[in-house]
């Protein structure tokens, strides 16, 4: 069975600083994808970044980057130069090409001005 | 607007009533997913469609829940004889063909059962 674990229910970061959100997962699939989604309060869930498991190179999207450790089944998200608009729930998720995505319980990120 | 849309955005109902939600996916997406999200939790998979075929249903989807996607376009999720435990945000997501892995989410329908 696929599982996704986020061990940090809440995190906070000073504006302009860097924060890392942790995620571990478990799957028996050999071909899969990993995602970080952002859900601002009362707003729509949006994709932040994605990583194909077969790629060794870590994905980056502007201020967002991941540290993908396949053997350890770890997929952390680093947010650099944090901005007030980064405050949200962040969900780590894992899926395959064929079906559903399994989400973790989320990490609530606060950005302190 | 070419994103995923859901209607209604909010629904308040009394226990025992039936409710129906609608999801309109991104037009070229053939896969459509329903999730349920309770407060402070991540979305939980309910069911998904490839075109009009319902390919998988979660054990969370009791016999009071039914989903359809006629003609492979919009989808409806109906909950019969609602219970207070059904109160949640119901999210819809769509995705392109099997080689496109990213799901795009709608704004959700928040259901409150009194």
How confident is the model over B35-65, as pLDDT tens digits? Answer: 999 988 899 999 999 999 998 888 888 899 9
Residues A11-54: tens digit of each pLDDT: 999 999 999 999 999 988 888 899 999 999 878 899 999 998 88
- Is the pLDDT at A109 greater than 90, yes or no? yes
CA of A69 vs chain B CAs: smallest distance (Å): 20
C-alpha A40/C-alpha A27 separation (Å) is 28
Long-range Cβ pairs for the range B67-71 (8 Å, 24+): B67/B34, B69/B32
Residues B8-40: tens digit of each pLDDT: 999 999 999 999 999 999 988 889 999 999 988
pLDDT, mean over chain B: 91
> CB contact, 8 Å: A87 with chain B?
no
The H or E element spanning position A112 is: strand A107-112
The answer to whether the CB atoms of A97 and B40 lie below 8 A apart is no
C-alpha B3/C-alpha B12 separation (Å) is 25
> CB contact, 8 Å: A105 with chain B?
yes
> CB contact, 8 Å: A5 with chain B?
no
Token output for B29:
């997406």
Core vs surface per residue B76-96: b (16+ CB within 10 A) or e: ebebeebeeebbbbbbbbbbb
How, if at all, do strands A101-103 and B10-13 pair? unpaired
A-chain residues near B96 (CB < 8 A): none
CA of B79 vs chain A CAs: smallest distance (Å): 21
B-chain residues near A93 (CB < 8 A): 42
């Amino acid at each position: 069975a696929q599982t996704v674990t986020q061990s940090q229910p809440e995190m906070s970061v000073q504006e302009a600083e860097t924060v890392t959100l942790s995620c571990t997962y478990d799957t028996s699939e050999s071909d899969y994808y990993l995602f970080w989604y952002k859900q601002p309060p009362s707003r729509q869930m949006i994709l932040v970044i994605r990583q194909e498991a077969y790629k060794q190179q870590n994905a980056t999207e502007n201020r967002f980057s991941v540290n993908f450790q396949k053997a350890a089944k770890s997929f952390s998200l680093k947010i650099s130069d944090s901005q007030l608009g980064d405050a949200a729930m962040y969900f780590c998720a894992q899926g395959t090409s064929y079906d559903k995505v399994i989400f973790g319980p989320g990490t609530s990120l606060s950005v302190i001005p | 607007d070419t994103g995923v849309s859901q209607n209604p955005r909010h629904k308040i109902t009394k226990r025992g009533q039936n409710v129906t939600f609608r999801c309109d996916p991104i037009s070229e997406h053939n896969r459509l997913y329903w999730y349920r999200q309770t407060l402070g939790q991540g979305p939980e998979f309910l069911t998904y469609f490839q075109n009009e075929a319902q390919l998988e249903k979660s054990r969370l989807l009791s016999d009071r829940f039914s989903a359809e996607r006629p003609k492979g376009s919009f989808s409806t999720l109906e909950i019969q004889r609602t219970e207070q435990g059904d109160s949640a945000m119901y999210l819809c997501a769509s995705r392109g063909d099997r080689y496109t892995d990213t799901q795009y989410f709608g704004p959700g329908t928040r259901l409150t059962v009194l």
